[in-house]
Chain A
Amino acid sequence: MTTVRTTGRWRGIVAVALLAVAVGILLDRPTVLLLGIVGAGFAAYPRLSGPPTVELELERRLDNRHPRRGEHVTVTAHLTNVGERTLADVRIVDGVPPMLTVSSGNPRHAAVLRPGQTTTFTYTLDADHGHHTFDPATVIVRDVTGAHEVETTVSAAGELHCTETVPEVPLRRQTDNFAGQLTTDSGGNGTEFHTVREYNRGDSIRRIDSKRWAKTGELTTIEFREERRSSVLLLVDAREPAYRSASESDPNAVAHSIAAAEQLLGALEDAQNRVGLAAFGREFCWERPGSGTEHMTRVRRLLTSHPTLSSTPSKPDEDGDLEGQREQLYARLDASTQVVVLSPLTDEWILQTIRRLEAGGNATTVISPDVTADGTLGRRLARLERTNRLHALRQADVPVVDWDPQAALGTVLLNEGRRRRTA
């Protein structure tokens, strides 16, 4: 969007010029008279010249598009005047991704640009988990006198993926009949040892326990834990109450949830599970569970571009009809689909939703980024309420992963898996 303004910076200069001219004539002082002419020039120039014509191109280069969390990423931006006129005063503010902070350098730059000339500036970002897209840069161009101003945006490609791997997704034992990663208690095809049984005619020769046969001459067949495929829906809580952060320098819980959903999506895809995506918030976001490259591309596109899945906090009245969204979810969910809810659990509404999902037969797991803070009475109460909600869900046999976003999600899920296996 482009806005053209008359700044009014030289308002009153005509009167000053006239006064200087009058004083110059009356006192017979040519230098004072000349001052008046300069003032008249400032007054006349904007009326004769009009606002500048802005034609700019921006190119953004990142030294690392796939950094690890906490690594520095150097951004080099090149701004070129592709128009035919000199731009006397160009100011640019680069569109740094909303959930990243600038650690050094400056994303603001100013220059004079002749036709075809390029100016370059560099700054460094601290990488944080998630998929980050650069916003268009804001450019402000003024004429020589500053009386006219053109404010516009210049887009340039720029994406940064900081995704850590998740080795294990805490799925529950609810499967469809296709082969996949979820290990079951029944023997069959898989990779994890389950049991040894007597050989039956037709068993694969590769599954015969050759050591036992060599030692005792007895033919036995090794059974592995059968691995089946799950149908999983990743449900992101992106309502206004979920846009909360632990401090002003930390990303909000929705940004953490979106980053976690990306990581889980990769892990579930690798394990050949059917994956879908839903979100509550500005509007209902829905993609039914499925598999295949096209489907996964569609889900990834939703994660990065759906208006509900924006990491920029929404306003209190910006959420859509949440009851309607919840009913849509219940209506569209298949009974065999299990749900992984990503929510900071900041209110009772999401708790009721999870309880109803579980009661409706959809095995539900909660991954909850902890963004509670300390200090004031309100914050202490919010922390107590979240602890209550975690407990209430666990009492209802809903597995909950209490995730401190400072820790890598993969590590937290591995620890949770170990804890469940030993429990």
Chain B
Amino acid sequence: MSAADLRNLVSVAGHGTRGLRRAGWYLLVGVGLVVFVVVAAAAVSGAAGALPVDGLVALAGNDYFLLGTFGTLALGIVVVMLVRRAAGRVSQAAPPDPETIRDASRPGDELDAYLGSLAISNPRASSDAFQERLRIAAEQAMIRTEQIPREAACERVATGEWTDDQVVAAFLGEERHSTPTLHREASLALRGERWGQHEVRTAAKAVVDRFEQASESDRR
């Protein structure tokens, strides 16, 4: 049996269950209405004696047991309906919010989201994505602020001589990644951070702290 056949079968079964439930509901309402009309007609016409009340009382034991049986049945139905009502949701439209501008994210929010995320499926792959970006940022900032040629900037970033931080030097340099000690990794994990996130955060902070001041004066 193919997946499509299986889906069709499930769909037909679903329709069948809904149809049965609806038929049961109509049957219950129909029986209730018939009983109600018969009792009401008997009460109005004065033929209440024709109803098999005595037989039902005898079957139940006494008046109170009969009352209790009806009451319990009614309460049971009410409880079932109330539970269904509580579990179900009111299905209604959600109107739009036109009062404010349709928001877009800020430039750089993707890096903040990565650094703030607790659940990253593949932290090494994610940090690789930011690695190239940070390397380009460092090289271009160096070209701009120190007026050195591209080759010299690439060389400085590759060798890591532009920073005292060994993690940053390795992450943006030729080594690409450094291996943390078990103790270091455990202490980062206690702070809710993976090693890949730590590398990206440290490198981004080093690049921004080093070149941001010169950027501001450039802008002015």
Query: With an 8 A cutoff between CB atoms, is A151 at the interface?
Result: yes
Asked whether, in the complex, the Cβ of A344 is within 8 Å of the Cβ of B107, the reply is yes
**Chain B residues with CB under 8 A of A358:** none
Q: How far is the CA of A243 from the CA of B75 in the complex (A)?
A: 58
Smallest CB–CB gap between B51 and chain A, Å?
12
Asked whether, in the complex, the Cβ of A8 is within 8 Å of the Cβ of B91, the reply is yes
- Within 44-84 of B, Cβ neighbours of A (below 8 Å) are at 67, 70-71, 74-75, 77-78, 80-82, 84
Q: How far is the CA of A402 from the CA of B215 in the complex (A)?
A: 14
Interface segment out of the listed B3-11, B179-187, B188-196, B203-211: B203-211
Smallest CB–CB gap between B23 and chain A, Å?
16
Interface segment out of the listed A92-100, A163-171, A291-299: A92-100
Asked whether, in the complex, the Cβ of B92 is within 8 Å of the Cβ of A245, the reply is no
**Chain A residues with CB under 8 A of B113:** 378
**Chain A residues with CB under 8 A of B112:** 376-379
Asked whether, in the complex, the Cβ of A5 is within 8 Å of the Cβ of B93, the reply is yes
Given contacts A22-B70, A383-B215, A387-B144, contact A250 B107 (CB under 8 A): no
Q: How far is the CA of A344 from the CA of B115 in the complex (A)?
A: 24
Asked whether, in the complex, the Cβ of B98 is within 8 Å of the Cβ of A8, the reply is no
**Chain A residues with CB under 8 A of B99:** 96, 101-102, 107
Asked whether, in the complex, the Cβ of B74 is within 8 Å of the Cβ of A18, the reply is yes
Query: With an 8 A cutoff between CB atoms, is B136 at the interface?
Result: yes
Asked whether, in the complex, the Cβ of B106 is within 8 Å of the Cβ of A101, the reply is no
- Within 58-103 of A, Cβ neighbours of B (below 8 Å) are at 91, 93-96, 98-102
- Within 362-395 of A, Cβ neighbours of B (below 8 Å) are at 371-373, 376-389, 391-392
Given contacts A8-B91, A15-B81, contact A392 B140 (CB under 8 A): yes
**Chain A residues with CB under 8 A of B215:** 383-384, 387
Asked whether, in the complex, the Cβ of A388 is within 8 Å of the Cβ of B101, the reply is no
Q: How far is the CA of A135 from the CA of B144 in the complex (A)?
A: 45
Kindly identify which residue among A91, A98, A348, A379 contacts B95, using a CB–CB cutoff of 8 Å: A91
**Chain B residues with CB under 8 A of A371:** 106-107
Q: How far is the CA of A392 from the CA of B153 in the complex (A)?
A: 14
Cβ-closest chain A residue relative to B112? A378
- Within 308-355 of A, Cβ neighbours of B (below 8 Å) are at 311-313, 344, 346, 348
Chain B interface residue count, CB cutoff 8 Å, equals 59
**Chain B residues with CB under 8 A of A8:** 88-91
Q: How far is the CA of A51 from the CA of B124 in the complex (A)?
A: 56
- Within 1-35 of A, Cβ neighbours of B (below 8 Å) are at 3, 5-9, 11-12, 14-16, 18-19, 21-23, 25-26
Query: With an 8 A cutoff between CB atoms, is B29 at the interface?
Result: yes
Q: Which of B82, B85, B115, B205 has the most chain A CB within a 10 Å cutoff?
A: B85
**Chain B residues with CB under 8 A of A247:** 106
Q: How far is the CA of A140 from the CA of B134 in the complex (A)?
A: 50
**Chain B residues with CB under 8 A of A23:** 74
**Chain B residues with CB under 8 A of A18:** 32, 74, 77
Smallest CB–CB gap between B134 and chain A, Å?
8
Given contacts A8-B91, A391-B144, contact A384 B84 (CB under 8 A): no
Cβ-closest chain A residue relative to B134? A381
Asked whether, in the complex, the Cβ of A11 is within 8 Å of the Cβ of B96, the reply is no
Smallest CB–CB gap between B98 and chain A, Å?
4
Q: Which of B32, B104, B109, B144 has the most chain A CB within a 10 Å cutoff?
A: B104
Cβ-closest chain A residue relative to B142? A388
Q: How far is the CA of A18 from the CA of B110 in the complex (A)?
A: 58
Q: How far is the CA of A45 from the CA of B85 in the complex (A)?
A: 19
**Chain B residues with CB under 8 A of A379:** 106-109, 112
Given contacts A5-B91, A377-B112, contact A388 B100 (CB under 8 A): no
Q: How far is the CA of A312 from the CA of B103 in the complex (A)?
A: 9
**Chain B residues with CB under 8 A of A251:** 101
Asked whether, in the complex, the Cβ of A149 is within 8 Å of the Cβ of B208, the reply is no
Asked whether, in the complex, the Cβ of A15 is within 8 Å of the Cβ of B78, the reply is yes
Q: How far is the CA of A102 from the CA of B100 in the complex (A)?
A: 7
Asked whether, in the complex, the Cβ of A346 is within 8 Å of the Cβ of B107, the reply is yes
Q: How far is the CA of A91 from the CA of B88 in the complex (A)?
A: 24
Query: With an 8 A cutoff between CB atoms, is B154 at the interface?
Result: no
- Within 12-39 of B, Cβ neighbours of A (below 8 Å) are at 29, 32, 36, 39
Smallest CB–CB gap between A73 and chain B, Å?
14
Q: A275-317 CB contact bits vs B (8 Å, 1 = yes)?
A: 0000000000000000000000000000000000001110000
Given contacts A377-B111, A377-B112, contact A96 B104 (CB under 8 A): no
Given contacts A12-B84, A344-B107, contact A312 B102 (CB under 8 A): yes
**Chain B residues with CB under 8 A of A389:** 140
Query: With an 8 A cutoff between CB atoms, is B156 at the interface?
Result: no
Asked whether, in the complex, the Cβ of B78 is within 8 Å of the Cβ of A19, the reply is yes
**Chain A residues with CB under 8 A of B96:** 93, 138
Query: With an 8 A cutoff between CB atoms, is A111 at the interface?
Result: no
Asked whether, in the complex, the Cβ of B108 is within 8 Å of the Cβ of A16, the reply is no
**Chain A residues with CB under 8 A of B205:** 377
Q: A385-410 CB contact bits vs B (8 Å, 1 = yes)?
A: 11111011000000000100000000
Known: A12-B81, A381-B204, A391-B143. 14 other contacts (CB 8 A): A8-B89, A26-B71, A98-B102, A102-B99, A108-B95, A243-B105, A312-B102, A313-B103, A372-B106, A378-B113, A379-B106, A381-B208, A383-B212, A392-B140
In the A-B complex, the 7 residue pairs with the smallest Cβ-Cβ separation, listed nearest first, are A382-B108, A378-B111, A378-B108, A15-B81, A382-B107, A388-B140, A378-B112
Residue ranges of A at the interface with B (Cβ–Cβ < 8 Å): 3, 5-9, 11-12, 14-16, 18-19, 21-23, 25-26, 91, 93-96, 98-102, 107-108, 135, 138, 140, 149, 151, 243-252, 311-313, 344, 346, 348, 371-373, 376-389, 391-392, 402
5 A-B contact pairs sorted by A residue (CB < 8 Å): A5-B91, A12-B81, A380-B208, A387-B215, A388-B141
